[in-house]
Amino acid sequence: MVFLEFALSLILTLFLEGSVALLWHFRGKNWLLFVLVNLLTNPLVVLFHAMFPGWPVLIVLEISAFTVEGLCYRAWGEKIPYPVLFAALANLFSFGMGLVINLWI
């Protein structure tokens, strides 16, 4: 059951944030960076939220995730405009859609 939660969260995150990356014109190596960064942050956020449930922890985890992602995009991305803003918007979109999905389930 836990594996399913991790896999579903990662797949949804890659799809939703990937949609924003398409709009942000991610190409080539930036796509690889996008996948690697999300493989790093998403499972950690899911794991720590499972260990420490609650809104305050979730907010800290999400802010930490988009900060790490944005810094990675800025450091290693190839000409990504406004990398931290991209990370913030992509994560906000993904988080918001996750809330909507959870309300339907």
Q: What is the pLDDT of residue 3?
A: 86
Q: How far apart are CA 9 and CA 33, in angstroms?
A: 18
36-48 pLDDT, tens digit per residue, is 999 999 999 999 9
**Closest CA relative to residue 38, chosen from 53, 56, 26:** 26
47-72 pLDDT, tens digit per residue, is 999 999 999 999 999 999 999 999 99
Amino acid of residue 55: W
- Mean pLDDT over all residues of the chain? 96
Q: What is the pLDDT of residue 105?
A: 79
Number of domains in the chain: 1
| Token reading at 19 | 């949609």
Domain that holds residue 98: 2-104
Query: Is the pLDDT assigned to residue 75 strictly greater than 90?
Result: yes
pTM over 0.75: yes
